[in-house]
Amino acid sequence: MEQTEKKKRRGRGRPRLDGGNGEGVVSREAVIELAYELARSEPLEDVSFVRLAKMLGVVPGALHYHIGTKDDLTSAILNRFYKQLLARLREIPEALPWRDRLRRFACILMACERDHRGAAEYIQTKAKFRVFQKVRAGETDYGAAYLDHAFGMFREAGFDAEQSAMFYHVLALHCLAAANSHVAHLEPAEHERFLLKQAGAFPAGTMPGLDFALKAFSGIRADDAFEFGLEALLDRFAAARRQEE
């Protein structure tokens, strides 16, 4: 009887990620990977320890011990996001003309944010400047590595520090806005019938501005708006570069 009671008791120390029953053993890496994948299609706030533990067949306390707080989990998800983003950015050939390199950079950044709703929404609505991540000893801060790479591209393009900082900022904002417009279904073309129906409720001639441009506006696609804005920004960067030569 005494031996049975001892087996039931749980000693102090590092909790097991198998919930103590010997089944469903997972690693810290597996927890982060699952959280990352869930956040591809939903807000980071919805990725909870309780939900992850249930999906993995473990107790929530074990995940807290091995991951930390919810903020630590958020940082781990974002670090994974920046890791994959950086891997794609490093595939851009360095021999390309500066404008082509920055164009590819913007397209990759927008695509990665569009494909990961959790990261894109969090960066835009919670912490626009959360690039530096909370990492453990021996781990790489991929957010910092990403920003280092981005600034390096502008420097190699011939821009000074102030230009690089401003141009990166406005380009990143443009990519983020385009990505979230897609994720949140905000492109006018997706709501064309509704827009035209609402405008049609006004007597003819009472809303001349709507009569003039709403039809054209309601046909705009997010990708077209992204391309237009990107070209405008690159033209502005080129103009500043010419002034320095």
Which tens digits make up the pLDDT trace of 140-185?
999 999 999 999 999 999 999 999 999 999 999 999 999 988 877 8
User: How far is it, in rounded angstroms, from Cα 224 to Cα 222?
Assistant: 5
What is the pLDDT, as a whole number, of residue 10?
Answer: 43
Per DSSP, helices labelled H in 42-160 are: 49-56, 60-67, 70-89, 98-114, 117-125, 142-156
Closest CA to 67 of 85, 82, 52, 46: 52
Q: Tokens 């994720």 belong to which residue?
A: 183
Structure pTM? 0.84
Query: Sign of the C-alpha dihedral, residues 222, 224, 227, 231?
Result: negative
Q: What is the pLDDT of residue 186?
A: 85
CA 22 distance to own-chain centroid: 36
**101 and 157 in contact (C-beta within 8 Å)?**
yes
Q: Are the CB atoms for 83 and 141 separated by under 8 Å?
A: no
Confirm if 88 and 147 have CB atoms less than 8 A apart. no
Percent of the chain at pLDDT above 70? 88
Q: What parts of the chain have a pLDDT lower than 70? A: 1-25, 127-129, 245
